[in-house]
């Protein structure tokens, strides 16, 4: 059973990036919505920025596992901090928009 965990740990960054391709496709469909739809996209742009930071983190993880770069693993905490801060800012931005628009 330990071998299964090790195997999943090795391939996890690869299938995470494969799933992210689907999410990037969905974001491109979202950003191509017509301007007449009056969709408030700013929080979604922030979530997309967080997704790009996640992709960078996964690429660095893959390069580290392959031995191509020698970056300490502590840098992942910085990336996760940026991702969480971006999510929080997106939520607060959406809340402010809803308050101004409907409140």
Note whether residue 5 is domain-resident.
no
pLDDT in tens, 12-54: 888 888 999 999 999 999 888 877 778 889 999 999 999 999 9
The pLDDT tens digits of the residues spanning 5-20 come to 888 888 888 888 899 9
Q: How many residues does the chain have?
A: 103
Buried b (16+ CB within 10 A) or exposed e, 66-86: eeeeeeeeeeeeebeebbeeb
In sequence order, what are the residues at sequence separation of 6 or more whose Cβ sits closer than 8 angstroms to the Cβ of residue 49?
86
Average per-residue pLDDT in the chain?
91
Any domain includes 4: no
Domains identified in the chain, total number: 1
Helix (H, G, I), strand (E, B) or coil at 80: helix
Confidence of residue 80 (pLDDT cuts 50, 70, 90): very high
* pLDDT of the residue at 39: 82
- The pTM (predicted TM-score) of the whole model is 0.84
21 part of a folded domain: yes
Contact call for residues 43 and 91 (beta carbons, < 8 A): yes
- Domain span at 17: 13-102
């Amino acid at each position: 059973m330990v071998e299964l965990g090790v195997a999943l740990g090795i391939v996890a960054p690869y299938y995470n990036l494969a799933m992210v391709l689907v999410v990037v496709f969905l974001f491109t469909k979202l950003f191509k919505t017509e301007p007449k739809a009056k969709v408030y996209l700013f929080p979604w742009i922030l979530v997309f920025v967080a997704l790009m930071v996640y992709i960078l983190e996964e690429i660095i993880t893959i390069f580290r596992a392959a031995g191509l770069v020698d970056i300490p693993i502590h840098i992942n905490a910085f990336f996760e901090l940026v991702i969480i801060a971006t999510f929080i800012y997106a939520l607060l931005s959406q809340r402010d928009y809803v308050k101004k628009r409907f409140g």
